Structure 1
């Protein structure tokens, strides 16, 4: 069995030993036994990280380079007018916290693709999309946090500068209390 242990950046001159075609649900896993497109047994032994995308390259412990391909699988593709209708559809589907692939076809029609789901499909049609069920690769957007790194982090500034003029000597008695409650500061709950 070929042990795939490392994600690598490829160049045009990278020699591809074999390809491994996987559906979305298997490309999100770091540990997996699979059979390559040329019937070679392979095992993924990757650190947790971003999902494997169509075209990603993996290196085996023995040095071979394997290219990952997104398999055709059942999907729902919602075609919709660009601009506000597309933005509205992405917004409402995104609020359902589902993975979405975005793109346009050769005719310039914009689409949003997701795994078949009758609730999402009804929503897409309600928002003006033309829905098509078919088989195609599902390679969803990785998300904004994945672009900046794998860690999901918030950068919230909590600078509590108080611009009070203190031209006189004063003291705070024990009965005065200055409380900072951040539970509704910006819509996020923060523990301090």
Structure 2
């Protein structure tokens, strides 16, 4: 019988030593049920109640109590910095308005490299730099088991 991992321990909320790591690209970290093999060769079945975005630093708790740490594969990204906290919020708004995946931090935003977007950001006064880092974008309003098949019948001020 294969080992199972049915619990995700959120990054920064678990302590102790991981027995191994599993390094996954961003597109392979949104899973519900899949056979996985850790970097060190431990095979296990990820068996979650719903599809979950595994984040860099999360722990996957095996049914024998051991923990495997999730690592995001470093990828080519664009680091966006601003002249002030307000400016960073404005830049985040512009990125969100384009529905781009973004990792938002206190002093910077990371997005996938895109020269058109980089050009737009620089025109808005941002400082950009190409970096290679793990990408852990925000989950978004519909993350966590919801899908985008929602209706838009919530009144948009038609003559009121």
Structure-1-length-normalised TM-score = 0.64
C-alpha distance in structure 2 between counterparts of 1:88 and 1:60, whole Å: 42
Deviations 1:143-191 (A, max 9, x none): 3566xx7558xxxxxxxxxxxxxxxxxxxxxxxxxxxxx9673469xxx
CA contact under 8 A between 1:85 and 1:127: conserved in structure 2?
Answer: no
**Cα distance change on mapping 1:134 and 1:185 into 2, 3 Å:** same
Whichever of the two has the greater Rg, that structure is 1
C-alpha distance in structure 1 between counterparts of 2:141 and 2:83, whole Å: 24
**Cα distance change on mapping 1:92 and 1:56 into 2, 3 Å:** same
CA contact under 8 A between 2:32 and 2:52: conserved in structure 1?
Answer: no
Q: Does 1:91 align with 2:61?
A: no
Aligned to 1:3: 4
SS of 1:73's equivalent in the other structure is: strand
Equivalent residue for 2:132, pick from 124, 132, 135: 135
What are the ranges of 5 or more consecutive residues in structure 1 without an aligned counterpart? 105-109, 153-181
CA contact under 8 A between 1:19 and 1:66: conserved in structure 2?
Answer: yes
Aligned to 2:117: 120
User: What are the equivalent positions in structure 2 for 1:1-192 lying under 5 Å apart?
Assistant: 2-8=3-9, 11-12=14-15, 14-104=16-106, 110-143=107-140, 185-186=155-156
- The answer to which structure has the higher strand fraction is 2
Root mean square deviation of aligned Cα: 3.0
C-alpha distance in structure 2 between counterparts of 1:15 and 1:134, whole Å: 29
**Cα distance change on mapping 1:187 and 1:60 into 2, 3 Å:** farther
Number of corresponding residues: 152
C-alpha distance in structure 1 between counterparts of 2:157 and 2:136, whole Å: 31
Structure-2-length-normalised TM-score = 0.75
The Cα of 1:95 is off from its aligned counterpart by: 0.8
C-alpha distance in structure 2 between counterparts of 1:24 and 1:183, whole Å: 33
C-alpha distance in structure 1 between counterparts of 2:92 and 2:56, whole Å: 22
C-alpha distance in structure 2 between counterparts of 1:22 and 1:123, whole Å: 30
Bigger RCO (CA 8 Å, 6+ sep):
2
What are the ranges of 5 or more consecutive residues in structure 2 without an aligned counterpart? none
